[in-house]
Amino acid sequence: MSLTADTPWVLRNDADGVTTLTLNRGERFNPLSEEMLAALLAEFKAIAIDETVRVVVLAATGKAFCAGHDLKQMQAQPSEEYYKALFQQCSKLMLAIQKLPQPVIARVQGLATAAGCQLVGMCDLAVASDNASFAVSGVNVGLFCSTPAVALSRNVSRKQAMEMLLTGDFIDAQTAWQRGLINHVVSPEQLDACVAGLAASIIAKPALAIRMGKQLFYKQLEMGMAAAYQLAGQTMACNMMDDTAQEGVQAFLEKRSPVWK
């Protein structure tokens, strides 16, 4: 693709409750440049208040899902103030994904390195092609992947996370699945069908339950056990008071399919 000043950084497609956001700098391995971060943040801000969107799919053009930060852009502005602002902006994006009411599925068709691997880790679900690969490889250029470590260490075990961070070595999709970084590994030809199947399964459930459940899931992870149970109990009580849950339980007792509005 020939790039112009008008070429969008992120492509958006909406269909049947699923919004697909596609990183659109495939010829450059879709780096998280200032422009890409801004574009993604703007899309997530809009999606957060769009009740027609039930599931978000994060995809990418080209051979790579995302190769992390734009090192050329970073090298051109060597100041601590600039770097702090850049990493804060990236962290803002990662937290926006977690705070989004709708579940986000990463569709990983190629390599995901450094902040790109972080991006996969922050999505709620991830499906990868069997030719995808993953690494937090900043250490290979003298930059320990500190911010990607936050997401990585919340997906895989400490020892496995530290090995990836200390060595910068790549792992294949099968290993990423075994370690818990992704949910499914499929052939490239099956990638879209697997993602669509997950999205359809989520959309078939009540939106309120999904929204409340996602919010509770991440909040309780940061709490002690007693506080987590207290919050979870409150969430379930509020969920149970909703008409969708009342109908769902009644339908179960009556051995019929629920009729949700």
Is the distance from CB of 195 to CB of 184 less than 8 angstroms? no
Element (H, E) at 176: helix 173-179
**Locate tokens 């818990």: which residue?**
180
CATH 1.10.12.10 residue ranges for the chain: 207-253
How many whole angstroms separate alpha carbon 90 and alpha carbon 83?
11
**Locate tokens 């009540």: which residue?**
206
Mean pLDDT value of segment 235-255 = 90
Confidence class for position 177, pLDDT limits 50, 70, 90: very high
How many whole angstroms separate alpha carbon 8 and alpha carbon 184?
29
pLDDT in tens, 100-134: 999 999 999 999 999 999 999 999 999 999 999 99
42 has a pLDDT exceeding 80: yes
CATH 3.90.226.10 residue ranges for the chain: 10-203
Confidence class for position 240, pLDDT limits 50, 70, 90: confident
pLDDT in tens, 207-218: 999 999 999 999
Mean pLDDT value of segment 162-170 = 98
Task: Please tell me the number of Cα atoms within 13 Å of 157 on its side-chain side.
Answer: 6
**Locate tokens 């994904």: which residue?**
97
147: Cβ–Cβ under 8 A, 6 or more apart, which residues? Answer: 87, 90, 91, 94, 115, 118
Does domain 207-253 correspond to CATH entry 1.10.12.10? yes
Say how far residue 222 (Cα) sits from the centre of its chain: 18
pLDDT in tens, 51-83: 999 999 999 999 999 999 999 999 999 999 999
> In CATH, which superfamily holds the domain spanning 10-203?
2-enoyl-CoA Hydratase; Chain A, domain 1 (3.90.226.10)
Is the distance from CB of 124 to CB of 99 less than 8 angstroms? no
What is residue 261's predicted lDDT score, i.e. its pLDDT?
Answer: 72
